[in-house]
Amino acid sequence: MKEVMDNAKKKMEKCVASLQHEFSTIRAGRANPAILDKITVDYYGTPTQINAMAAISVSEARILVIQPWDISSMKSIEKAIMASDIGITPTNDGKCLRIVFPQLTEERRKELVKQVSKYCEEAKVTVRNIRRDAMDKFKAMKKNSEITEDDMKNCEKDIQKLTDGYCDKIDSVGKEKEKEIMTI
């Protein structure tokens, strides 16, 4: 019983952590190096993340500076950023790349809030699926006479409480990101 609960809790925790990582890649009008996490560059035939081949820093609130350790890789990094879905063209000064994040329009902010809501809903569905899997395990244990009817009811209550807690956590993380997106 405890093992099933602990396993469900770990999976729900991973779901929330994954959601937070997903949110870090959403552009909210200020420079955030995590935006480049999804972008890979073809570096001598190997797909490589930008942060593994360059120093990434935030020079001002809306400017990201990428300094490749190997200057010859600058063109391929620039191409990978332009081909990505972040929608910003970097400027190349020969030594480093600069990405200037423009102020978000009201319309774009609303689109991003919708995207955040969608991610939150997907995370909640995942948490509910974890709950369902745990409930199935409890039912199987009950069927095999490993736990009593009372234990089963208590487990159902506990897993529901755990699910509600993580759904609330997802909501609060989502509201925080929406607030960050909507502040100018």
Whole-number Cα distances in Å, 79 to 83, 109, 129: 6, 26, 40
- Encode pLDDT of 39-71 as tens digits: 889 888 889 898 889 999 988 878 889 999 988
Domain boundary among 84, 100, 116: 100
Q: Is the domain of 121 the same as that of 155?
A: yes
pLDDT reading at 175 higher than 90? yes
Mean pLDDT across 82-91: 83
Query: Which bin fits 20, alpha (ψ -120 to 50), beta or left (φ > 0)?
Result: alpha
pTM of the entire predicted model? 0.72
- Encode pLDDT of 113-132 as tens digits: 998 999 999 999 999 999 99
Mean pLDDT across 177-182: 86
Residue 178 belongs to domain spanning: 2-24+105-182
Per-residue pLDDT, 24: 78
pLDDT reading at 161 higher than 90? yes
Q: Is the domain of 135 the same as that of 85?
A: no
Percent of the chain with pLDDT over 70: 98
Per-residue pLDDT, 27: 66
Residue 101: which residues within 8 A CB-CB, separation 6 or more? 27, 29, 30, 31, 62, 63, 64, 88
Nearest-angstrom CA–CA distance, 150 and 163: 20
Q: What tokens appear for 124 in the block?
A: 């909640």
Percent of the chain with pLDDT over 90: 38
Q: What is the CATH number of the domain that holds 125?
A: 1.10.132.20
Whole-number mean pLDDT of the chain?
Answer: 88
Domain count, the chain: 2
pLDDT reading at 86 higher than 80? no
* Higher pLDDT, residue 143 or 25: 143
Q: Is the domain of 56 the same as that of 71?
A: yes
b vs e for 120-141, b when ≥16 Cβ sit within 10 Å of the residue's Cβ?
A: beebbebbeebbeebbebbeeb
Q: Is the domain of 72 the same as that of 161?
A: no
